[in-house]
Chain A
Amino acid sequence: MTTSAALLESFQIIATPGRIGFVALGVLIGLIIGVVPGTGGITGMALTFPFAMTMDPVAGIGMIIGILASSSISDTIPAVLFGIPGSNSSQATILDGHPMARRGEAAKALGAAFFSSLIGGVFAAVILTLSIGIARPLIMNFQSPELFMMAILGMSMLAILSGTRPLKALVSAGLGIMLSMIGLDSFTGTVRWTGGSLYLYDGLPITIVALGIFAVPEIMYMMVKDSSVSDPNMDTGGGFIEGMREALRERWLVIRTAVVGTIIGVIPGLGGSVTDWIAYAHARQTVPGASETFGKGDIRGVIGVDSATNAKDGGALLTTLLFGVPASAAMALLLGLFLVYRIEPGPSMVADNLPVTYAIVWTLLLAQIFGFIFACVMVHPLAKITLIPPNVFAPAILVIIAFAVFQNSYTAGDLVALLAVSLLGWVMKWYGYARPPLVLAFVLAPLLERWFFISFSVHGWAWTLRPIVVVVGLLTVLGVVSGLRTTVKGRRRALETEPAPSESATQRSEDR
């Protein structure tokens, strides 16, 4: 069967009102779930899984992919409006999205985010279509040494994210690494740094670390500041179209970060937690004047991140469909659903089931478009939320966060851990410790440790000479040197232009 014939047949498979309706239903569920801090698409996928199993396969897969795609769009909403990541993949959106909301440009930030998400998502779907036949040899070459080097590459982003306070950023990253090592070492069965607590045997959940380091300190800060997220005199609802125009103007940034997101999505194990940071670091490295404006409400920071986070789903779907290797936890669930329907991912998806494969790609494309349209309809009422005084909505958000973190292990330990991490996050915010490096290090350190020991056990030190390892290693060195140069330049410029002490302090604090 030719590709064009398969594409046509796949379109006929998906183009029935019932199946499109289930994609739309999944998109709606995903949008709602994405707004709830700390839950993310995987929660929605897990909850609807039992229903999807009983449905027609195309409709069931459509609903699940709808949830996956749209939760990546709506998790931007709490990140921009409240400075709270809706999921792990929207943490970097906060850095520029939330300062924009505080300037009264919430709708503009969301417009840019949604539109760049759409472009990123569509781009990834197109790449998925084109690369179905050619990606296999490359992916099959990725083993533990290559994965280890990819994690090292991710860790090198710390050099870019440290801003003008490299020591505090490195302390923050060190704490992140140490926090990630709490719990049972799965290789040796040894318990590390749990203090005898049974709860900590499984380690600290990423949801709790993300919410405690970013969300709760921001809410507490709003309570301390006691003024609405946006100035009430500013027009919060305006600028949505302007935001989309900005995304269009920055089309090359959108495309570049979509490529970054797709590649990260393809690589198993990296997942959503690092996509946003790598995309943000890439945008900060490549956009002119970023060292002065990023972190202070530069719309390009939002555009770069959201394009990549939506594009990663297309990349992740590639490895799941073609190799049966789930690139993330969400993809593992999707893989389970395929197996329930007796669809066996692997080379047969290209050889025997090409129309089904393309139908799944169409579904992803459709979900991206639906997600964009629905999110656009909801954005204006949501942007008005930033005008409400924080002491009115802060208690409600705290309650929802407590509810969300309890879903980790259903024990009081979740709440105690949230409290402890929140206090750490609060002190770090108050004393100017960069928090993104902690979360990035927390996510990557366990992967580093695991892949290092597997690489060493299998290959000895010979793994360091593998071609992809060498190439990624060189890229890492280049990234670190470039990041350090940016940091040194930024510090030098700050020293040269340092005005009165009070002005300088304000400027630095805004750099958070």
Chain B
Amino acid sequence: MIRRRFAVASYGIVFSTITLVAVAYAWYLGFDFPQRTRVFPIYAGGLTFVLVFAQWAVDVRWFVAAEGAKRYESLDLGVESEVRDDPRVNQRVVISLGAVVAMIGLSIAVGLSVAAPIFMLVYMIAVSDVRPWIAVAITVVVWFVMFYVLEGMLGLRMPPGLYLQWHPFR
């Protein structure tokens, strides 16, 4: 548990460090903008840099403090403790992150008309406990909504793929 607590605290430092570097770089770039354009980036960027640095210092203090791991429980985290301390939480986080990345990546590659059914069927059958016929039924309903309601009735445009622009009704 202690190791896990340290791990979580260290991920927090990773985020604040990345934010600090990104904000510092953006602020530095702001000085190259022309006179009028750079006023807000320099002042707002400078202020943000100071705030992010303060947050980074707080995170580091938490991490290096001797009782840091013990005080992990009182860290300001945005999720319920029963979720955070669940032993399978890392696995679930990876699955949910992977699902979002995969769905968007697949949509960009082959278009949403193909990506949607593949993603929905694979996710529902592999991750949730629903029966296959329910997964198929939900997929068909979503497809209907996409093609007949959103595209057909409302005239919205279906995202095409970079490598495949397949559309079942064209």
Contact = CB atoms under 8 A, between A and B. Distances in A.
B52 interface: yes
B146 A403 contact: yes
A55 interface: no
Contacts of A445: 40, 44
B7 interface: no
Given A403-B146, A403-B150, A508-B76, A224 B51 contact: no
B141 to A, nearest CB: 8
B145 interface: yes
Interface in A402-436: 402-404, 406-407, 410, 412, 414-416, 418-419, 422-423, 426-433
Nearest to A32: B149
Interface in B30-60: 30, 33-34, 36-37, 40-41, 44-45, 47-48, 51-52, 54-55, 58
B170 interface: no
Given A181-B44, A190-B37, A402-B107, A505 B74 contact: yes
Given A192-B33, A429-B78, A395 B119 contact: yes
Contacts of A242: none
Given A174-B52, A396-B142, A399-B116, A504 B74 contact: yes
Contacts of B58: 167
A431 B77 contact: yes
Contacts of B104: 402, 415-416, 418-419
B34 A167 contact: no
Contacts of B141: 396
A415 B108 contact: yes
A32 B153 CA distance: 12
B157 A410 contact: yes
B92 A188 contact: no
A56 interface: no
A197 to B, nearest CB: 14
Contact of A174 (B29, B51, B93): B51
Majority-rule SS of B interface residues = helix
Contacts of B127: 223, 391
Interface string B65-108: 00000010111111111011000010011011101110110011
A422 B44 contact: no
Given A33-B154, A190-B34, A402 B103 contact: yes
A416 B159 CA distance: 12
Contact of B83 (A224, A403, A431, A504): A224
A225 B103 CA distance: 20
Interface in A375-407: 389, 391-393, 395-396, 398-400, 402-404, 406-407
Interface residues of A, number: 73
A185 B142 contact: no
The bracket for how many chain B residues form the interface is: 35 or more
A432 B51 contact: no
A188 B39 CA distance: 12
B145 A400 contact: yes
A220 to B, nearest CB: 4
Given A223-B95, A391-B127, A399-B120, A415 B159 contact: yes
Nearest to B155: A47
Contacts of A43: 154, 156
Interface string B16-31: 0001000100100110
Interface string A491-512: 0000000000110111011101
Which of A216, A398, A429 has the most chain B CB atoms closer than 10 A to its own CB? A398
A392 B103 contact: no
A419 B78 contact: no
A175 interface: yes
Given A220-B96, A391-B127, A396-B138, A415 B107 contact: yes
A165 B51 CA distance: 13
B131 to A, nearest CB: 11
Contacts of A407: 156-157
Given A223-B96, A395-B119, A432-B75, 19 more contacts: A181-B44, A187-B36, A188-B37, A226-B92, A389-B129, A391-B123, A391-B128, A395-B123, A398-B99, A403-B156, A407-B157, A416-B104, A416-B108, A426-B97, A432-B78, A445-B44, A504-B74, A505-B81, A512-B78
Interchain residue pairs A-B with the least CB separation, the first 6: A174-B48, A391-B128, A223-B96, A432-B76, A501-B73, A406-B159
Interface of B: 11-12, 15, 19, 23, 26, 29-30, 33-34, 36-37, 40-41, 44-45, 47-48, 51-52, 54-55, 58, 71, 73-81, 83-84, 89, 92-93, 95-97, 99-101, 103-104, 107-108, 112, 116, 119-120, 123-124, 127-130, 134, 138, 141-142, 145-146, 149-150, 154-159, 162
10 contacts: A36-B150, A181-B41, A224-B93, A391-B124, A402-B116, A403-B150, A419-B100, A431-B12, A448-B40, A504-B74
